Amino acid sequence: MSITVMKNYINGEWQDSGAEVFGEVHNPVMGEQIAAVPYGTRGDVDQAVQAATAAFPEWRQTPPLARARYLFRLKDAFEEEFEDIARVLTREQGKAIDESRGEVRRMIENIEHASGVTTMMTGYCLEDIAQGVDSSLFRQPMGVFAGIAPYNFPAMVPWWFIPYALVSGNTYVLKPSEQVPMTQNRIFELIDEVGFPEGVINLVNGSREVVNAILDHRDIQGVSFVGSTPTAEYIYERCGATGKRVQALGGAKNIIAVMPDANLEAGMPSLITSFFGCAGQRCLSGSILSPVGEGADACIEQFVAAARAMSVGNGLDESTAMGPVVSEAHRERVLAYIEKGLAEGAELILDGRDCRVEGYPRGYFVGPTIFDKVTPEMTIAREEIFGPVVSIVRAESLDEVIELINSRNFANAACIYTQNAKAVREMRYRANPGMIGVNIGIAAPMSFFPFGGSGNSMFGDIKGHGREIFQFFTDTKVVIERYF
């Protein structure tokens, strides 16, 4: 098996990193190394920022629709290579191929939405703010922006930001997750084929050193980050200290209420996908299941039966519903949480610890795992596990669930399964999370709505994609004019 060594893409060229240290990229189903990734250097970042800075004046002057046309061409390339991108993604991340396809589709939708630039970036004006004096507002790009990505959505997450940054006239430097750099590598091959002007979009591989170099670089105007809460908080603070704009999306502990009147038969497939899709490695995954009042036993019984029936295997097999987790280290982390749950007295009613898949003895598998009788103070009800582990916290009333939701450190998403409009309104009105699902297990906003939570799930003011992101990537200039 040959090991591919990742390169950087700077100023329109593939380049070797100046790094001396390399990380391993693994195929999680085979449990073997498939690529090496340079833990890049400050020099790599500086080179990329210099290229992006040099490209900015001309890119800024390129009319917005001409900028959008580059993205249209890229969209065509993505459509042509759709299946290939999805397969590269599954190979390095492990998720089921249909989930990868969904992710690539969501990535493309951001390009489609960003092409509305001529409406989104338009300013406004008003005559006679005083007699004979007119005023107008322009939105202007700011220069070089950077993105720092997590491992769980290697294709989509960087593209919550890149199309909007580029189409509004900025230039860009991306650092993908060092755990899954191959998907963006494939995407940048297509960027290279489309032929953006040199330096407009750059890729620097690496780990913490590269992140710190981005945070400290004086010529970077703003940073979009997605990852765990401790890193998000760190990025937010350090960007503040160096005077950069920042949007930092963090971790989650999402709670799903199932009311006694819920249509369990219709809702079960999306409930199961919420907790176990992507092997629980989604910031929108359900983590705590809260069946309310009478009917809890029936709900749990059906939920466990459906979880038990899930096919765990190689994400590239069309019949696989759940693949492995991303790495051996992460598998061990998830297993440690299961041990913690047991030690703290939760009742393990479905045990995925010893999950073996024929043909893949070294895969990083954890089977669907469910704890009943979890109490709010237990570790598995408080911390983000990011694996296929469900904590059931039974509740007497919806009030109790909303209290539970608002008492967690995270506030990314919450969902409710019910037919009752009043219960839905209570959830929408009172629960803190930024994304709410109603009979939907993954409350994922599409590209034309903002993506992001509240509290410790989001640091900064402007969320991912949506309309508002054009504010993040532009500054306003107000002109007041009078003529004699």
Residue in 48, 148, 374, 443 binding ligand NAD, rule: CB under 6 A: 148
Minimum CB–partner distance for residue 235 and ligand NAD (Å)? 7
H helix intervals, 228-295: 229-241, 264-276
Q: Does 178 bind ligand NAD (CB under 6 A)?
A: yes
Which residue's CB atom is positioned nearest to ligand NAD?
Answer: 227
- How distant is the alpha carbon of residue 101 from its chain centre? 15
Given the rule CB under 6 A, which of 14-22, 175-183, 258-266, 351-359 is the region that contacts ligand NAD?
175-183
Amino acid making up residue 467: R
Minimum CB–partner distance for residue 206 and ligand NAD (Å)? 7
Question: Strand pairing of 22-27 and 171-175?
Answer: unpaired
- Select 179 or 221, whichever has its Cβ closest to ligand NAD: 179
Number of residues this chain uses to bind ligand NAD (CB under 6 A): 28
What's the alpha-carbon Rg for the chain, to the nearest Å?
23
Structure-token pair, residue 323: 């693949």
H helix intervals, 278-363: 296-308, 328-343
- Select 68 or 210, whichever has its Cβ closest to ligand NAD: 210
Given the rule CB under 6 A, which of 111-119, 145-153, 375-383, 397-405 is the region that contacts ligand NAD?
145-153
- Select 34 or 304, whichever has its Cβ closest to ligand NAD: 34
Q: Which of residues 280-319 bind ligand NAD (CB under 6 A)?
A: 283
Minimum CB–partner distance for residue 215 and ligand NAD (Å)? 8
Structure-token pair, residue 424: 């839905």
| Distance, CA of 148 to CA of 136 (rounded, Å) | 35
Q: Does 227 bind ligand NAD (CB under 6 A)?
A: yes
- DSSP assignment string, 90-146: HHHH---HHHHHHHHHHHHHHHHHHTTHHHHT--EEEEEEETTEEEEEEEEE-SEEE
Minimum CB–partner distance for residue 310 and ligand NAD (Å)? 22
Q: Does 466 bind ligand NAD (CB under 6 A)?
A: no
Q: Does 384 bind ligand NAD (CB under 6 A)?
A: yes
Q: Does 44 bind ligand NAD (CB under 6 A)?
A: no
**Is the distance from CB of 470 to CB of 164 less than 8 angstroms?**
yes
- For residues 306, 390, 226, 72, the Cα torsion angle rounded to the nearest 10 degrees is 10
Q: Does 205 bind ligand NAD (CB under 6 A)?
A: no
Q: Does 152 bind ligand NAD (CB under 6 A)?
A: yes
Q: Does 251 bind ligand NAD (CB under 6 A)?
A: yes
Q: Does 47 bind ligand NAD (CB under 6 A)?
A: no
| Distance, CA of 456 to CA of 232 (rounded, Å) | 9
For residue 415, indicate whether it is catalytic. Answer: no
Catalytic residue among 239, 278, 283, 415: 283
Q: Does 151 bind ligand NAD (CB under 6 A)?
A: yes
The H-or-E segment that residue 381 falls in is helix 379-382
Q: Does 228 bind ligand NAD (CB under 6 A)?
A: yes
Structure-token pair, residue 342: 């047991």
Residue in 202, 221, 457, 474 binding ligand NAD, rule: CB under 6 A: 457
Residue in 223, 249, 264, 321 binding ligand NAD, rule: CB under 6 A: 249
Given the rule CB under 6 A, which of 59-67, 99-107, 130-138, 144-152 is the region that contacts ligand NAD?
144-152
- Which of 158, 163, 218, 161 is CA-nearest to residue 183? 158
The SS3 call for residue 425 is: helix
Structure-token pair, residue 154: 């290697």
- Which of 391, 441, 438 is CA-nearest to residue 416? 438
Given the rule CB under 6 A, which of 64-72, 222-230, 256-264, 423-431 is the region that contacts ligand NAD?
222-230
| Distance, CA of 355 to CA of 372 (rounded, Å) | 20
Q: Does 223 bind ligand NAD (CB under 6 A)?
A: no
Strands (E), 154-311: 171-175, 201-203, 220-226, 245-249, 254-258, 286-291
| Per-position x/- string for 397-436, each x denoting binding to ligand NAD as judged by CB under 6 A, each - no binding | ---------------x------------------------
Structure-token pair, residue 69: 């046309």
Residue in 23, 250, 437, 441 binding ligand NAD, rule: CB under 6 A: 250
Contacting positions for ligand NAD (CB under 6 A): 148-153, 157, 175, 177-178, 207-208, 211, 226-228, 231, 234, 249-252, 283, 384, 386, 412, 453, 457
Q: Which residues are catalytic?
A: 283
